[in-house]
Amino acid sequence: MHSKKIVRLAAVNWAVFVKGFLFQIFTVGIIVAVFSLIVSDFFVAVSGAVAEAGILDAFSGMINGIFDLFNGKISGAALGEAIEKFFGTIKDFFELVPDFASNLALSVVLFVVATTLLYFLSGMTDLPTLYCLNKFMSTNNSGFYTWSYFRQFVNSLWYNFLRMVAGVVIDTVIIAAVIGSALLFFVNIGIAGAVISILFALVLCAIRVNIFAFWLPCRLVTGEKITKSFKDGLKTSLDGFWWLFLNNLIIIAVCAAVCFALVFILHNIILALCLCFVVFCVATYFLNCSALVHYYENIGKPYFTKKVNIGLSDEG
């Protein structure tokens, strides 16, 4: 599995991760800031209208009324009044927020655009990160991250476009498969089915990572074009596929477990999401290290995983 080598490579090149992480924060920060700036007035208006119209209180009263009706505490007429009150608050809400439909449509469109940009730009650090890691593994010197980021910028754009197109197709299949399995298993065996569905999702995610794992390592080591390196990388990954899969599955499972724990433990959802973003970046970094180590092992090329003061390669 080469776990020790992966961890050692990741630890020695921690500065590479930090620089890539800062680029990620900068990118995400700009997109979120621009999106928030555009839609903030609308969301403030919606939030104020919800409070002024009393939608949440009316909704709570309606739900409580349904339970009270089943428990025999209120009559059907009383429940009808609660429902009528709720729909009345909805009417008041639309009167308080002018052009709600058009503003909502604009917000949805902007959200889709922002999400697409995040999906696309999140991979812009992959190539420079792998470039520095590969340089370290081959020369014992990781080089300059910022320089490699801009030097590889055009290649990163092309790679990320192809990755996004292929990724959308694969992600759609994964989501459909997970939802289908969740409905199938959860309906039949309850909570155990939900657990099975989560494990199934983790396995599919690990397979997805495997498909793309050797794409950039092959590009960097052989110097092939982006499209050809994907084909050759995929062929190379078939040798030792399951060891790579197991490593990736462990990394993804740990990442998912930590994120779930953060969401359930922390009461501040914004803080939890921010920490989940950090965990995701760390996991991505380890997946990149895993891809490079396994690629070097598969092609039988010696490499460094720690800093040494001699001119001999370190395969351990």
Determine the average pLDDT of the residues in 42-57.
80
Question: What confidence score (pLDDT) does residue 1 get?
Answer: 59
**Most confident stretch, 13-17, 58-62, 112-116:** 13-17
Average pLDDT of the chain is 86
DSSP 300: T
Q: pLDDT digit string (tens) for 152-163?
A: 888 888 998 998
Q: pLDDT digit string (tens) for 193-243?
A: 778 888 999 999 999 999 999 999 999 999 888 889 999 999 999 888 899
Question: What confidence score (pLDDT) does residue 245 get?
Answer: 94
pLDDT at 291 over 90: yes
Q: pLDDT digit string (tens) for 89-143?
A: 888 877 777 777 777 787 788 888 888 888 888 788 899 999 999 999 999 887 7
Helices and strands in the chain: count of H runs, count of E runs: 13, 0
DSSP 124: T
Give Cα 38 distance to the centre of its chain: 24
Q: pLDDT digit string (tens) for 165-203?
A: 888 899 899 989 888 887 777 666 767 777 888 899 999
Q: pLDDT digit string (tens) for 245-255?
A: 999 999 999 99
Question: What confidence score (pLDDT) does residue 251 get?
Answer: 95
What is d(CA 15, CA 254) in angstroms, rounded to the nearest whole number? Answer: 22
What's the half-sphere exposure (Cβ side, CA atoms, 13 Å) at 274?
9
Question: What confidence score (pLDDT) does residue 293 get?
Answer: 95
Determine the average pLDDT of the residues in 9-24.
93
94/21: higher pLDDT: 21
What global pTM score does this model have? 0.78
What is d(CA 67, CA 82) in angstroms, rounded to the nearest whole number? Answer: 12
Question: What confidence score (pLDDT) does residue 179 get?
Answer: 85
Cα torsion through 261, 262, 264, 266, rounded to 10: 140
Question: What confidence score (pLDDT) does residue 232 get?
Answer: 94
pLDDT at 73 over 80: no
pLDDT at 270 over 80: yes
CB neighbours of 49 closer than 8 A, spacing ≥ 6? 93, 96, 97
Question: What confidence score (pLDDT) does residue 187 get?
Answer: 63
Question: What confidence score (pLDDT) does residue 91 get?
Answer: 82
pLDDT at 262 over 80: yes
pLDDT at 75 over 80: no
